[in-house]
Amino acid sequence: DTGVSQDPRHKITKRGQNVTFRCDPISEHNRLYWYRQTLGQGPEFLTYFQNEAQLEKSRLLSDRFSAERPKGSFSTLEIQRTEQGDSAMYLCASSYTRGSEPQTTMGYTFGSGTRLTVV
Amino acid sequence: RKEVEQDPGPFNVPEGATVAFNCTYSNSASQSFFWYRQDCRKEPKLLMSVYSSGNEDGRFTAQLNRASQYISLLIRDSKLSDSATYLCVVKAAGNMLTFGGGTRLMVKP
């Protein structure tokens, strides 16, 4: 296990279809994050998990988006009824955190992302 | 107003030049600060953390001014391989990183 893996790397789908992405974090990492990035912008936070618990969701995450991390290991992000505005790079990241993490200076490790194109 | 603001650039500099990027953040409760590097169509990668006392890693120097809520990155002796987008990143008391829009650097021969 050398890093964060995401699958697929690319996905082209027709508007209205459902898509699901998978992320496998670094095995000892207990936190997993999903971000979305559009061209020319920085990554925007979507949601994160600590182990299997989804602890925070952005307002960007509409009802069409759902994320799971059922066993505290890999995670899936599903988008239902895709729209053209959903076209973006979906990035997964993971980190290891102890306790309340008040003074961490560690960043995250990102996967290579899944590039979604909705046509 | 965005939580983390950066000049998008591009900064076009010759090899060997010194270049500086600035970033401002709006949340005074921010606790951790980073610079990430992102190559075209690749994922962001941690370049360096930014400490209150300032820190240096080879040709890269990062500074933090908490009073002004301002972060900087200085690159000395620019290399062609430094061409990338540099993302200013801030972490508040919550657990997610907040990214700026990035500053694009192009180093030319």
**What pLDDT is recorded for position A72?**
86
pLDDT band at A10 (very low <50, low <70, confident <90, very high): very high
* B103-108 vs B11-14, strand pairing mode: parallel
**The pLDDT value given to residue A82:** 98
* Cross-strand pairs, B46: B36
pLDDT band at A75 (very low <50, low <70, confident <90, very high): very high
Q: Which chain B residues are within 8 Å of A2, Cβ to Cβ?
A: none
Q: Does A51 touch chain B (CB under 8 A)?
A: no
CB–CB contact B96 A42 (8 Å) = no
pLDDT one digit per residue (tens) for chain B, 109 residues = 789 999 999 999 999 999 999 999 999 989 889 999 999 989 999 999 998 888 999 999 999 999 999 999 999 999 999 999 999 999 976 678 899 999 999 999 9
Rounded CA-CA distance B18/B23 in Å is 17
Using an 8 Å CB-CB cutoff, list chain A residues near B4. 42
Q: How far is CA B66 from CA A56, A113, B8, B94, B101, in A?
A: 26, 33, 22, 18, 20
Is residue A106 within 8 angstroms of chain B, CB to CB? yes
Q: What whole-number distance in Å separates Cα of residue A87 and Cα of residue A117?
A: 5
Q: Which helix (H) or strand (E) holds B6?
A: strand B4-6
Q: At A102, is the pLDDT very low, low, confident or very high (cuts 50, 70, 90)? A: very low
Chain A residue closest in CA terms to B43: A112
